[in-house]
């Protein structure tokens, strides 16, 4: 949970800073492009004016006269014949000039840019035909491209710096949360251990009292009720210990008390389904299996067995009477896919998002005595599946029913023994 919270903190920080930085850099680039367009337009307008030829470098007219030196002005008759050309300093190839003049005359606009050459043009009508001014835009385009690349580099370097700072700040900001989480985890683990001894004593005493032949019937009912509640409490303590171990593994990366071996998942699921046949019959439903053979995973067989039993218990408990619980096992790529489906009440989307939360119940009106649990079964199943590198999810609809799906990495195939020649 803390790792996910830290990732979300970093992602949100980088997203906000990235949006702001992209807006600033984008606005600067856009402003530069507008400025460059304005300069080009000003040069063209001045080149078309009558006083363009008299412009000199360093004049105080308010225009950039040096830029005017790159302009070319031509006078064209209505039929497209060029009869006069003024070039301040820049030269232009005759074929290029002819192509751009043709584009300017064929265009409906009074100004534009050549699609084939880095040239901007502007025309104005005169008594003898047209006067067209041209200016080279290659340097301005190169400047904008350089600014764009510079902006990308600045964005990349800045986002890298933001990531480093956000990573450091997230650890500092989440330190109190981590301390509280550690204290809570330690309390749950210590309290669960401390409760095991008195519960064992209570269960032992109630068993002794239940074996007394002279115990009055009324007192026997009280003893039996105490024994039942003690067993429920023992189950809760064991569940809390399992979750505390899962939290410790997530926090420290050490998985104490678990095994990791090659497990025949097909045989394990088949055995669990066989165990629940009688339970399903008592609950008014049946179990149907479609299991691929030879599906093997690497993990703790006891944990895998508990996950499968939890899913089968939930599926048979909430299945409609007379329906079938479907158990499917297959290989999908490099993963094993186990799904358990039943036909029952549809779980709302809001509840689906919290099914694997601790102590969460989809029906608040259900009593523990009716459901036989504390709302920890699916939370424990998720913790166990996560500890083995798998994933668990749930879907529910009126058409497909409710399906719990577990995916686990397949075990590596054992190497074949060498064959004798």
Do domains 175-252 and 261-409 share one topology? The answer is no
Domain 175-252 classified CATH 1.10.287.130?
Answer: yes
Which pLDDT tens digit goes with each residue over 321-342? 999 999 999 998 899 999 999 9
pTM: 0.55
Which pLDDT tens digit goes with each residue over 370-403? 455 567 788 888 888 988 889 999 999 888 899 9
Neighbours of 260 (CB within 10 A): 12
Sign of CA dihedral 77, 83, 87, 91: positive
Q: What gap in Å lies between CA 67 and CA 40, rounded to an integer? A: 9
**CA dist 276 → 96, 288, 308 (Å):** 87, 11, 11
Residue 96 confidence (pLDDT) above 70: yes
Which pLDDT tens digit goes with each residue over 171-197? 888 788 777 767 776 776 677 777 777
Q: What gap in Å lies between CA 113 and CA 107, rounded to an integer? A: 10
- Domain at 261-409, CATH class: alpha beta
Which pLDDT tens digit goes with each residue over 336-372? 999 999 998 888 888 888 888 877 766 543 444 445 5
Question: Which pairs with CB-CB distance under 8 Å and at least 24 residues apart come from 29-32?
Answer: 29/144, 29/147, 29/148, 29/151, 32/143, 32/144, 32/147
For the chain, domain boundaries: 1-49+63-173, 175-252, 261-409
Which pLDDT tens digit goes with each residue over 199-257? 888 888 888 888 887 778 778 788 888 887 888 787 777 777 777 777 666 655 555 55
Question: Do the strands 286-291 and 324-332 form a parallel or antiparallel pair, or are they unpaired?
Answer: parallel
Q: Indicate the angle between helix axes 377-387 and 301-317, nearest 10 degrees.
A: 150
Amino acid 15: pLDDT:
92
């Amino acid at each position: 949970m803390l790792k996910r919270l830290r990732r979300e903190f970093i992602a949100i920080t980088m997203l906000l800073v990235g949006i702001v930085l992209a807006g600033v850099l984008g606005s600067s680039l856009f402003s530069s492009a507008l400025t460059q367009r304005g300069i080009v337009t000003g040069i063209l307008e001045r080149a078309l004016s009558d006083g363009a030829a008299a412009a000199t470098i360093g004049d105080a007219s308010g225009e950039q006269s040096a830029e005017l030196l790159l302009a070319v002005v031509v006078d064209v008759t209505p039929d497209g014949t060029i009869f006069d050309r003024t070039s301040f300093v820049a030269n232009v190839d005759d074929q290029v000039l002819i192509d751009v003049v043709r584009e300017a005359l064929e265009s409906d606009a009074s100004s534009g840019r050549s699609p084939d050459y880095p040239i901007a043009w502007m025309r104005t009508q005169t008594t003898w035909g047209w006067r067209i001014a041209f200016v080279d835009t290659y340097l301005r385009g190169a400047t904008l491209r350089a600014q764009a690349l510079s902006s990308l580099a600045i964005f990349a370097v800045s986002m890298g710096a933001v990531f480093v700072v956000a990573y450091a700040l997230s650890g500092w900001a989440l330190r109190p949360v981590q301390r509280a989480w550690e204290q809570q985890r330690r309390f749950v683990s210590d309290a669960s251990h401390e409760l095991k001894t008195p519960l064992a004593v209570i269960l032992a005493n109630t068993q002794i009292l239940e074996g007394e032949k002279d115990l009055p019937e009324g007192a026997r009912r009280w003893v039996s009720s105490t024994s039942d509640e003690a067993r429920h409490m023992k189950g809760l303590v064991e569940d809390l210990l399992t979750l505390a171990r899962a939290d410790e593994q997530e926090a420290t990366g050490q998985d104490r008390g678990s095994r990791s071996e090659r497990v025949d998942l097909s045989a394990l699921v088949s055995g669990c389904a066989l165990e629940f046949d009688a339970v399903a019959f008592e609950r008014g439903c049946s179990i149907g299996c479609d299991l691929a053979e030879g599906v093997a995973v690497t993990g703790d067989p006891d944990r895998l067995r508990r996950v499968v039993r939890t899913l089968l218990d939930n599926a048979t408990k909430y299945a409609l009477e007379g329906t079938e619980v479907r158990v499917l096992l297959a290989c999908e790529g490099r993963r094993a896919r186990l799904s358990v489906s039943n036909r029952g009440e549809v779980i709302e989307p809001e509840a689906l998002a919290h099914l694997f939360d601790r102590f969460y119940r989809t029906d608040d009106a259900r009593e523990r005595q009716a459901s036989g649990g504390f709302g920890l079964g699916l939370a424990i199943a998720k913790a166990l599946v996560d500890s083995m590198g798998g994933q668990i999810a749930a879907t529910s609809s009126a058409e497909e029913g409710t399906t719990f799906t577990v995916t686990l990495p397949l075990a590596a195939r054992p190497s074949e023994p060498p064959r004798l020649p």
